[in-house]
A and B are shown apart, each in its own frame.
Chain A
Amino acid sequence: MNTSSNDAAFVEFERVQKSYDGEALVVKDLNLSLPKGEFLTMLGPSGSGKTTCLMMLAGFETATHGDIRLDGKSINNIPPHKRGIGMVFQNYALFPHMTVAENLSFPLEVRKIGKSEREEKVKRALDMVQMGDFAGRRPAQLSGGQQQRIALSRALVFEPELVLMDEPLGALDKQLRETLQFEITNLAHDLGITTVYVTHDQTEALTMSDRVAVFDDGRIQQLAPPDQLYEAPENSFVAQFIGENNTLEGVVKEINNDRALVQLDGGGLIDAKPVNVSKVGERTRVSIRPERVEYNKDRLSADAHTLNAEVLEFIYMGDIFRTRLRVAGRDDFVIKTRNAPDQVRLKPGQQIEIGWLAEDCRALDA
């Protein structure tokens, strides 16, 4: 597919707002732009407005304010069937009275494509998802995973440039989900399709996407590639929401360029990277990933601040050890260490000192 316009925005939300009842805003000031070919995931807790955004893009809901553009053209007044957007629904929405082949040929029929071409495209689309042998079946005669594949190939059979998927794997078991995640991303990339994918499973979001938009409270909290999202959350909601995270609250005591000294509420001083703090005396929440916590003093720099901790629980998880500590008056501080031959196994009751690199610890909003 055409990749020359890769950085020009293909889908754009500009200051979009949506209210269903005229009282509460479900989507507040949404700004989003994604280039052609990108796989973007909308991730967020239930009720955060992900489906609503998708429905506005597909044309089933109208934005109460703002502009949605597709390939540079505003689509606010284009009816859904003219938008040419492929869509995969959470419950698949395969037409139960049609066979698999008829389901797939439906979008081609309404586009008045000739019979032979139709059949060829249907066959190609089915082969693409390894479902070529199931053309004559009814959706009810398929397993959940098979239905999901058919729904996917139906959304792709008319070669849309944009495909929307609303929690397409929500109803499947873990193993099948992982296989399909892989298949969907591969397909999307092979065909060069722009994809907007909705999920509230963060692993899914992180493994599949080029970029992830974290939704909360009707806003995008952060829009970034998965690694940045994990390693450099921009606020404490994202830090909490993505992956496991340790949070400590405190007040900024000193601040210079890229280093902040935080006085914790539970006692103790730590180094952190200022992200959302700028002044001394501001309240902050510092966030540190469990696997970035170090308790081996030799590996910390000499001037690093450390905290005293008591081991509460040691959990053996095979590839990693998960240890729960009491730190600065909190019982829920978790560290993860790799199960390496030289790794120390901590015992409950043991007193240790923990620390980290200042850039791994982010001082975020309170």
Chain B
Amino acid sequence: MTDNTANTASDGPMLAADGTTLKSSLNRALRRQKLRALMLIAPLLIFVLLTFIAPIADMLFRSVENQIVSETLPRTTAALADWDATGDTAPPEPVFKDLYEDMFIAKERKLHTRLGSRLNYELTGVSSLFRKSGRKVEDMGEVYQDQFEDLNKFWKKGENWNVLMGTSSWLAAQNAWDKASKTAQPTLEIKPEIAALLPQTAQMFTLFAEFVQVDENDNLAKEDPWAIVYSALYDDLTAGANVAGYSGEGAAELQEAAAAVSSFETVDFTAAFTKIDKDWASVDVWRTLQVYSPEFTAGYFLNAVDMQKTIDGPEMRPENEQLYLKLFVRTLFMSLVITGSCILLGYPVGFILANLPARTANLLMILVLLPFWTSLLVRTSAWKVMLQQQGVVNDTLVWLGVVADDSRLALINNQTGTIIAMTHILLPFMILPLYSVMKTIPPSYLRAAKSLGATNWTAFWRVYFPQSVPGIGAGSILVFILSIGYYITPEIVGGTTGTFISNRIAYHISSSLNWGLAAALGAILLAVVLGLYWAYDRIVGIDNVKLGG
């Protein structure tokens, strides 16, 4: 007496009326439907991509992005690549010279303080070091500038430099340019023979010209070159540039200078920087610079788990600087406790709601939903009033004689406060899925269990409870994920021991402006949530999550 479904499977794929396989003609029929469906959801899809996926992608990028170091100090970071950081001596003089040039340009562009704050996350003191050095770096190379200018007045004037460096066609255009005309300045074109003869000078002058012409929009003819242009010229000339072979404008002055440079007073950049701050002589600063010179770094992530980069690879920070791991553990632990208390408090409520007559259930449901209609801030602040030492709860306990007046409970500005307030705030998110799942469990199951001989408890535990698990799952995921990223409530009632990782993220975003670290913390949080979600799927099965019938 078994229901036998006769299976008349024939060999080979089924054919549709026109001879194509049934499968392909079905696919064809479905494709247009799918396309139409896709077009209907396209606006939302784009919206979600722009407002959800893109920010997350940006955050993930920020958590590893580190271009600021190599962009601000391109020469220094390149030179540092060869430096052996394991030793205990600062890098050699050429690196200091590169630092001088980078610093000079950064200072002109006002970028050095930004880099200083960035590196200060990794090594405290770098910020002030950079600010101080930036102020003094301008004077450092003036030794060469003064000597060139003393040698010949020719070197003093910006226009002479233009004549020396620029092509004649550009020069004509530049001289004809009028700032008032509001047109763009003709971009400097270096003479090819000069570029070959004085490569460093040409490079520095180009940078200078670009800065003046584009960043400042000043007339290049009226500006005197940077000190680093002079030091570059000194370098080119001492490097043995064959000025004798040059016959263009300024050839005489060049030859004169080439003859004179050998007797020039030189600058010791190592000493100069060390004079500004002796930190430049210590390897720590240089190690930090070297470690953070790549364009992408794991540094924020290491920071976010209380580790730091050292020359020996990542290692834990000293005990007294550790913060984030503890916060992560606390966040997870407290979220679990909150989820647990939501289950304990919400389950009976859901059960009662699901088993009451519709009218009463609706009334109670309004009470459950009531908190949604009140501002979150108001509710949280109300808890502050309720839970403080002289608050309603403590007063009642004292009045009842449960606690003595002089040993009132500390219920706020600690973990207890956060747990109480957040359980209250997140409770509806547990009750609603529980209710909607329980609503679909017919009372006849309980009756059946009892008629089969189960006591009330056994019937509940073996028959009702397993069927309500999807509701618990859905509620728990909701509450847990919401609480893991909660910010306002712990901020208000959490004090120092009851705050979450999200409060730290908010701090880094709005106060310390360390967005990279905030992004790394956020990314870890995201990974933890996804990991837990995955674990939940493996253990319970995500199909077992039900938000309703």
A-to-B contact residues, CB < 8 Å: 58-60, 79-87, 89, 91, 93, 95-97, 106-107, 110-111, 130-131, 133-134, 143, 145-146, 154-155, 158, 164, 179
Contact = CB atoms under 8 A, between A and B. Distances in A.
Contacts of B2: 130-131, 133-134, 146
Contacts of B3: 143, 145-146
A106 B462 CA distance: 9
Contacts of A80: 447, 450-451
B455 A81 contact: yes
A79 B451 CA distance: 10
B452 A107 contact: yes
Nearest to A142: B3
Given A110-B458, A130-B2, A96 B467 contact: yes
Query: Which residue among A93, A96, A134, A155 has the maximum number of chain B CB atoms within 10 Å of its CB?
Result: A93
28 contacts: A58-B447, A58-B451, A81-B452, A81-B456, A84-B453, A85-B451, A86-B451, A87-B447, A87-B448, A87-B451, A89-B447, A91-B442, A93-B445, A93-B447, A97-B466, A106-B454, A106-B462, A107-B452, A107-B453, A110-B453, A110-B455, A110-B458, A131-B2, A145-B3, A146-B2, A154-B452, A158-B452, A158-B453
Chain A to chain B: the 9 pairs with minimum beta-carbon distance, closest first: A107-B452, A93-B448, A87-B451, A130-B1, A93-B444, A80-B450, A97-B466, A110-B454, A81-B450
A120 B463 CA distance: 23
Nearest to B470: A97
Given A84-B453, A87-B447, 4 more contacts: A93-B448, A106-B454, A107-B454, A146-B3
A275 to B, nearest CB: 40
Tell me if B's interface is mostly helix, strand, loop or mixed: helix
B520 to A, nearest CB: 42
A134 B466 CA distance: 22
A106 B452 contact: yes
B386 interface: no
Contacts of A110: 452-455, 458
A133 B4 CA distance: 12
B449 interface: yes
B444 A106 contact: no
Nearest to A96: B467
Given A130-B1, A145-B3, A81 B463 contact: no
Given A97-B467, A130-B2, A91 B451 contact: no
A89 B449 contact: no
A195 to B, nearest CB: 14
Contacts of B452: 81, 86-87, 106-107, 110, 154-155, 158
A101 to B, nearest CB: 14
Query: Which residue among B453, B459, B463 has the maximum number of chain A CB atoms within 10 Å of its CB?
Result: B453
A143 B5 CA distance: 11
A15 to B, nearest CB: 25
Contacts of B449: 95, 106
